[in-house]
Amino acid sequence: MKKIIKELYPYVIIVVVVILVRTFIITPVIVSGSSMKPNFNDGELLLVRKIRYNEKTIKRFDVVVIKKDKEEIIKRVIGLPGEHISYKNNKLYVNDKLVQENYTHLNTKDFNLEEICTCSSIPEGKYLVLGDNRPISKDSRSIGLIDEKDIVGKSVFRLWPITKIGTV
C-alpha cells in the first residue's frame, strides 16, 4: 500500500496543481462565433488570465472573457469607469477626445453612452465592451454595460491555430 501511495504521490500533486492553476490563475477558452473577427476567429484557443475582483488591471482595448447568461463571451474593453464614450463618423471619442483604434477597420455606427445607459459617464465597477466585428457583434450596445464581477479574465495568449500562436 505504501509503495502505491509513493508511486501515485507525484501524479496527485500534478493534478492538484493543474486544478489550482486552472481555477485561480489561467484557463483555456475557445472563441465561439464571429463577433471578434478579423482578430479572433471561431474555434481559436486562447489562454485567459483570471482577474480577481477589484484587481484594477483592466485597461482600454484589453480583450476580456465575460460570463453573461451562463455563457462566456469574448469582447474588447472600450470604456472604463468614469469615462464618456461616443462614436462619430466611425471614430472613437473618450471624454470628447479622439482615440485611435488600430485593430478594426469595420464601420461602427454612431452612438453615445446615453443610448446604452441613463448615465453621462460609465459608473464605477462597469465597463463598455464591443466586438471587433462591429456590424454583427452583440455587445454593450445591445446588452448594456458589463459588471466588473462578470469579467472572468484577460486574454493573454493564443494557443491555436499554430500559425497564430503567440501573445494577444
Q: DSSP states of 7-54 as a string?
A: HHHHHHHHHHHHHHHHHHTEEEEE--SSTTTTTS-TT-EEEEEE--TT
Judge whether 142 counts as a catalytic residue: no
Active-site hit among 6, 32, 34, 35: 35
75 is catalytic: yes
DSSP code of 117? S
Q: How far is CA 53 from the centre of its chain?
A: 14
DSSP state of 141: H
CA distance 129 to 62: 10
* Catalytically annotated residue among 6, 75, 88, 97: 75
| Peptide bond before residue 135 is cis, with ω within 30 degrees of 0 | no
Provide the annotated active-site residues.
Answer: 35, 75
